[in-house]
């Protein structure tokens, strides 16, 4: 049997992790370890922001919430937190399976950000990094995305 691998398929809303093994007959098999929907944290804006600087004063009533000055910063902050959460999940998986290399598939916008967030000691175990969103793909499509690597392992 060939060496098993960790396969992580993720985007900013979904995280899937599997163990890729080869059966005795030589056919590849994915055993799903995690399938998690990622939440963009609390639903209230006040719970999402880390810094209240730059907010305008509340209009009129002192009990109203203040409007956000830069809504795009909130999107960037949410994205940054989700990328950190994905990297943390990958690091936990890699530490739980220290002898298994990693194959990662994530959209091109976040793929390099996830790799940058991983500790250097774990980053060296990443064998393949595809800039594709395969979170909704079936097992056959996932295996077809890594054909060269699957045949060499």
- What does the DSSP 8-state code read for residue 62? T
Average pLDDT of the segment spanning 100-107: 95
pLDDT classification of 1: cutoffs 50, 70, 90: very low
Q: Provide the pLDDT for residue 129.
A: 94
CATH of the domain spanning 7-52+67-152: 3.30.420.60
Task: Note every long-range contact of 25-30, with CB atoms under 8 Å and residues 24 or more positions apart, other chains counting.
Answer: 28/143, 28/150, 30/139, 30/142, 30/143
Statement: residue 50 has pLDDT above 60: no
Domain ranges, ordered by start, for the chain: 7-52+67-152
Average pLDDT of the segment spanning 18-35: 91
Statement: residue 109 has pLDDT above 80: yes
Statement: residue 61 has pLDDT above 80: no
């Amino acid at each position: 049997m060939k060496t098993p691998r960790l396969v992580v398929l993720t985007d900013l809303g979904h995280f899937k992790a599997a163990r890729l093994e080869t059966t005795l007959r030589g056919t590849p098999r994915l055993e799903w370890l995690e399938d998690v929907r990622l939440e963009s944290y609390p639903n209230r804006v006040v719970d999402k922001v880390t810094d209240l600087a730059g907010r305008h004063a509340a209009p009129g009533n002192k009990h109203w919430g203040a409007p956000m000055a830069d809504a795009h910063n909130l999107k960037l902050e949410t994205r940054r937190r989700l990328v950190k959460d994905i990297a943390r999940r990958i690091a936990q998986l890699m530490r739980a399976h220290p002898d298994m290399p990693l194959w990662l598939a994530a959209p091109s916008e976040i793929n390099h950000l996830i790799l940058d967030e991983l500790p250097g000691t774990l980053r060296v175990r990443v064998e393949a990094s595809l800039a594709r969103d395969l979170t909704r793909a079936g097992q056959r499509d996932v295996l077809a995305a890594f054909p060269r690597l699957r045949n060499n392992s």
